[in-house]
Amino acid sequence: LDPNLLTTTQAVDTAFIFIFGVSVVLLAGITATTIWFAIRYHRSRQPEPTSQVDSNLWLEIVWTTLPTLLVMAMFWYGWRGYLSLRTVPEGAMEVTATARMWSWNFTYAGGKTSPKLYVPVGKPVRVELASDDVLHGFFIPAFRVKEDVVPGKKNYAWFVATRPGSHDLFCSVYCGVSHSSMITTVEALPPAAFAAWLSQGGEAAHAGKELLEKNGCLGCHSLDGTPRVGPTFKGIWGRQVTIVTGGTERTVTVDEAYLRRSILEPNAEVVKGFPPVMPSFTGKLSDAELAAIVSFLRSGGGEGKEEPDKH
Ligand SMILES: [Cu+2]
């Protein structure tokens, strides 16, 4: 890692510590002076003023210059930090973060995708931010990085992990009922482990599950039976569901045709008790992808397969 490089953590922390330090010194100094004056010039000790002071040039110069210098120093640290946050070091690895209601998905050079952000230690990472629907916020507190993810707007963030570890990454902008499930992690791996991870292709057996992750289905549907915004996928095949179509209720058995309809035209038949918020995937999934998803759901909707993802 370039020793002259200011990481995003250092950039933000320097400005923060400087401003915080100045505030602490001023708070302590002003409080101590107030207490000292209150005692020293108390009515009992000092019934009459000893002298009448109209002005003091020297004092006025000090109390004008000192705060000006302090505020300019604060600006300097803030500006330098801002430039560091917006200037991506050369040779950074590129990843695209796609936000959608209500999950994150990361795409690496070569097309691999994952629901967690994997990065190599010691290499700056440039994250292109994209939203598929509404306003989201890309926030990694550990690296002091926070950027809005605005639909239709190009934006980016960068950071570098200096040691291996796992850090929270979440959406900082309220984006709907399951906003809170937009939490994942940055997994900083030693470079060799990262290279090994990146070169592993998605296995065919996991293709269906990967498609669910990639298309954000798992932000609203669980694989382990917990209800989220939408019904769980666990044991969905053959289940009896009550659906509402234009005000009338009907009970159907989940089969292939039903699954396809639910994915392509989710609002035509809405599962009773759930809000009609699922976006249509018509035109977003190829026939092969739809078939892979359907066959994954048929095989039990991943019963017992919600292991921590190891692609
Ligand atoms: Cu969000």
Mean per-residue pLDDT for 163-185? 93
79 burial via Cβ count (<10 Å: 0-12, 13-18, 19+): exposed
Judged by phi (left if over 0) then psi (alpha if -120 to 50, else beta), residue 9 lies in: alpha
More confident residue, 73 or 310: 73
- Report how far ligand 1's centroid is from the alpha carbon of 264 (Å): 23
Q: Indicate the DSSP class of residue 231.
A: -
pLDDT tens-digit profile of 116-152? 999 999 999 999 999 988 999 999 999 999 999 999 9
| C-alpha 159 – ligand 1 centre gap (Å) | 20
Determine the pLDDT at residue 300: 64
The stretch 145-163 carries a mean pLDDT of: 94
The per-residue pLDDT for 52 is 83
| 225 pLDDT above the threshold of 90 | no
CA 135 – ligand 1 centroid, Å: 7
Q: Which residues have C-beta under 5 Å from ligand 1, the single-atom ion? A: 136, 171, 175, 182
User: How high is the pLDDT of residue 125?
Assistant: 96
Q: Which residue has the higher pLDDT, 3 or 223?
A: 223
Of the pLDDT bands very low, low, confident and very high (cuts 50, 70, 90), residue 3 is low
pLDDT band at 2 (very low <50, low <70, confident <90, very high): low
Count of residues for the chain? 311
Using the structure block, give the residue that is written with the tokens 């005000």: 247
Report the mean per-residue pLDDT for the chain: 88
Q: 218: closest CA among 244, 252, 183, 265?
A: 183
Could you read off the pLDDT of 231-289 as tens digits, one per residue?
Answer: 999 888 888 999 988 888 999 989 889 999 999 999 888 999 899 899 999 888 888 78
Task: Name the least confident of 9-23, 83-97, 154-168, 239-253.
Answer: 239-253
Q: How many Cβ atoms are within 10 Å of 78's Cβ, its own excluded? A: 17
Q: How far is the CA of 180 from the centre of ligand 1 (A)?
A: 8
What pLDDT is stored for residue 189 in this prediction? 94
pLDDT for res 209: 82
State how far the Cα of 174 lies from the Cα of 35, in Å rounded to an integer: 45
- pLDDT category at 290 given cuts 50, 70, 90 is confident
The C-alpha atoms of residue 184 and residue 167 are separated, in whole angstroms, by 8
Q: Which helix (H) or strand (E) holds 297?
A: helix 287-298
Residue 284 has a pLDDT of 86
Other beta carbons less than 10 A from residue 255's beta carbon: 12
Q: How far is the CA of 246 from the centre of ligand 1 (A)?
A: 30
Cβ atoms 139, 229 nearer than 8 A: no
Q: How far is the CA of 117 from the centre of ligand 1 (A)?
A: 16
Mean pLDDT of 37-57: 87
**Please, which pLDDT band fits residue 308 given cuts at 50, 70 and 90?**
very low
CA 166 – ligand 1 centroid, Å: 20
Give the pLDDT confidence score for residue 219 in this predicted structure.
87
Sign of the C-alpha dihedral, residues 231, 233, 236, 237? positive
Do β-strands 93-100 and 125-131 pair in parallel, antiparallel, or remain unpaired? parallel
**What string of DSSP letters covers 36-103?**
HHHHHT-TTT-SS-S------HHHHHHHHHHHHHHHHHHHHHHHHHHHHHH-PPTTPEEEEEEEETTE
The pLDDT of residue 201 is 62
pLDDT exceeds cutoff 90 at 228: no
Distance 52 CA to ligand 1 centre (A): 63
The share of the chain scoring above pLDDT 90, in percent, equals 57
| 203 vs 67, residue with greater confidence | 67
**Distance of CA 30 from the midpoint of ligand 1 (Å):** 43
Tell me the pLDDT band of 311, cut-offs 50, 70 and 90. very low
